[in-house]
């Protein structure tokens, strides 16, 4: 079987990272995220584009959002270097979905479908151990050591107010992308509310059927 070209979509907390890690191991493909692609190509020469800076690094150093056209070029570069991949975190909007169509032919588009209240429950329950950097969950993955439990903190990103805003932004920007692939008949919906191992069985079977 040729190495598949996979797009994985889902809201924050849907489990894209967990499933992407399993996909890369099982199917021997690259896990391409926008963040990793940006970091890997931060010194790419973009001086031929009509942009404020000549490299992505300068945007990142200034704490500014990297423009879509630069992100598109970086993702294109990352995809061109991969035999097979699972693309995670791109496209974030309809314009990027149109761009992606010109970059590669996808074998499968996965959407991890999780109810919003379940996403809020998952994300607001996350806790950080400030000493080790390990992430726990108050319900699904509590630490066994009472001392660790004592020092756990909730990150600012994981407060309910922030989580609901992140989900609102996701809905606003990325739901049209989900509809775009659904309308084309390419979207494979996976029930993301199952246990992670059950989600994986569905993901694996869907990729094997498509590739």
Catalytic site residues? Answer: 16, 92, 126, 155, 166
Query: Does 127 carry a binding-site annotation?
Result: no
Q: Report whether 113 contacts 194 (CB < 8 A).
A: no
Query: Does 151 carry a binding-site annotation?
Result: no
Query: Does 181 carry a binding-site annotation?
Result: no
Please give the Cα distance from 35 to 82 (Å, whole number).
16
Task: State the SS3 of 140-193.
Answer: CECCCCHHHHHHCECCHHHCHHHHHHHHHHHHHHHHHHHHHHHHCCCEEEEECC
Query: Does 66 carry a binding-site annotation?
Result: yes
Query: Does 154 carry a binding-site annotation?
Result: no
| Phi, psi (degrees; rounded to nearest 5) at 109 | -115, 115
Query: Does 187 carry a binding-site annotation?
Result: no
Query: Does 17 carry a binding-site annotation?
Result: yes
Token pair, residue 26, equals 């099982």
Q: Which residues are annotated as a binding site for AMP?
A: 34, 39, 64-66, 89-92, 96, 155, 166
Task: Return binding residues.
Answer: 13-18, 34, 39, 64-66, 89-92, 96, 126, 135-136, 155, 166, 194
Binding residues for ATP are: 13-18, 126, 135-136, 194
């Amino acid at each position: 079987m040729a190495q598949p070209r996979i797009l994985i979509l889902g809201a924050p907390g849907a489990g894209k990272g967990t499933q992407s890690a399993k996909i890369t191991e099982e199917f021997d493909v690259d896990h391409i995220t926008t963040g990793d692609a940006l970091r890997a190509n931060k010194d790419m020469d973009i001086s031929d584009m009509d942009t404020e800076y000549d490299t992505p690094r300068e945007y990142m150093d200034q704490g500014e959002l990297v423009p879509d056209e630069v992100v598109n070029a970086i993702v294109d570069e990352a995809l061109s270097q991969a035999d097979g991949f699972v693309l995670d975190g791109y496209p974030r909007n309809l314009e990027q979905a149109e761009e992606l169509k010109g970059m590669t032919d996808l074998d499968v588009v996965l959407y991890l479908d999780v109810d919003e209240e379940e996403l809020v429950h998952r994300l607001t329950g996350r806790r950080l151990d400030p000493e080790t950097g390990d992430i726990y969950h108050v319900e699904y993955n509590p630490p066994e050591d009472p001392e660790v439990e004592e020092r756990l903190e909730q990150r600012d990103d994981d407060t309910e107010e922030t989580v609901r805003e992140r989900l609102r932004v996701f809905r606003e920007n990325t739901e049209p992308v989900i509809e775009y692939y659904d309308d084309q008949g390419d979207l494979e919906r996976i029930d993301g509310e199952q246990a992670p191992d059950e989600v994986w069985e569905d993901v694996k079977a869907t990729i094997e059927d498509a590739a």
